[in-house]
Structure 1
Amino acid sequence: MIRGLVLAGGKSSRFGSNKAVARYQGIRLVERAVSLLNELSLKPVVAVQKGTGYPFLKCATIDDRLPDRGPLGGLYTAMTVFRNTSFLALTCDMPALTRPVLSELLSRHTPEFLATAYRTQDERVQPFPGVYGPLLLGTIREKLKTNSLSVYDLLDKTPRKQFILWRGDGRIFTNINSARDLRTFEMSDRHGREGFSGRPACPRGKPGERTGAVLRRLDCRSRF
Structure 2
Amino acid sequence: MIGLVLAGGKSSRFGQDKALYRYPNQKANNVEVTVNKLLMVCNHVLISTNTQNYSVIKRQFSHLNNVDVIVDQEPFKQHGPLSGIYAASCQNPQTTDYLLVAVDYPLLSPSVISIIASNPNSYAATPKNSHYAISHFQVSKRTLHDYLLFGDFRLSHFIIDSRRCLPISFPSYQSFLNLNSPEVQS
Q: Which residue of 2 aligns with 1:149?
A: 153
The answer to whether the 8 A contact 1:49-1:67 is kept is no
Q: Gapped runs of 5+ residues in structure 2?
A: none
The runs of at least 4 aligned residues of structure 1 exceeding 6 Å deviation read none
Are the counterparts in 1 of residues 119 and 136 from structure 2 also a CA contact under 8 Å? no
Distance in 1 separating the partners of 2:173 and 2:148: 29
Instruction: Give the CA deviation at 1:41.
Output: 3.6
Which residue in 1 is equivalent to 2:100?
89
Q: How has the CA–CA distance of structure 1 residues 174 and 146 changed in structure 2, closer, same or farther, with 3 Å as cutoff?
A: farther
Change (3 A) 1:19 1:126: closer
Q: Separation in 1 of the partners of 2:44 and 2:161?
A: 29
Aligned positions of 1:127-138 closer than 5 A: 127-135=132-140, 137-138=141-142
Q: Partner residue of 1:48?
A: 49
2:41 is the alignment partner of 1:36:
no
Structure 2 residue aligned with 1:5: 4
Aligned to 1:212: none
CA RMSD of aligned residues (A): 2.1
Return the match for 2:118 from 91, 101, 107.
Answer: 107
Tell me the distance in 1 between the aligned counterparts of 2:14 and 2:38.
Answer: 24
CA deviations on 1:80-106 (whole Å, 9 max, x unpaired) are 211332110011121121111011112
Question: 2:176 aligns to what?
Answer: 173
Q: Which sections of structure 1, spanning at least 5 residues, go unmatched?
A: 110-114, 184-224
Is 1:64 the equivalent of 2:69? no
Which whole-Å CA distance do the structure 2 matches of 1:157 and 1:19 have between them?
A: 28
Change (3 A) 1:177 1:29: same
Ranked by relative contact order (alpha carbons within 8 Å, sequence separation 6 or more), the top structure is: 2
The residue aligned with 1:78 is 88
Retained in 2: the 8 A contact 1:34–1:44?
A: yes
- Between stretches 11-20 and 53-62, larger displacement belongs to 11-20
Quote how far apart the aligned CAs of 1:129 are: 1.1
Distance 1:173 1:132, change over 3 A: same
SS in 2 for 1:19: coil
Q: Over residues 180-218 of structure 1, what are the superposed CA-to-partner deviations in whole Å (9 max), with x where a residue is unaligned?
A: 3212xxxxxxxxxxxxxxxxxxxxxxxxxxxxxxxxxxx
| Cα 1:160/1:21, change in 2 over 3 Å | closer
Task: Give the corresponding residue for 2:131.
Answer: 126
- What is the Cα deviation at residue 147 of structure 1? 3.1
Tell me if structure 2 keeps the 8 A contact 1:73–1:144: no
Structure with larger Rg? 1
3-state SS of 1:118 partner: strand
| Closer/same/farther in 2, CA of residues 93 and 126 from structure 1, 3 Å limit | closer
- For residues 9-28 of structure 1, the C-alpha deviation after alignment (integer angstroms, 9 at most, x for no partner) is 11122233322111012320
Amino acid at match of 2:136: V
Counterpart for residue 204 of structure 1: none
Q: Percent identity?
A: 27
Question: Over residues 95-149 of structure 1, what are the superposed CA-to-partner deviations in whole Å (9 max), with x where a residue is unaligned?
Answer: 121111011112222xxxxx21123335x432121012025x4553244334321
- Number of equivalent positions: 174
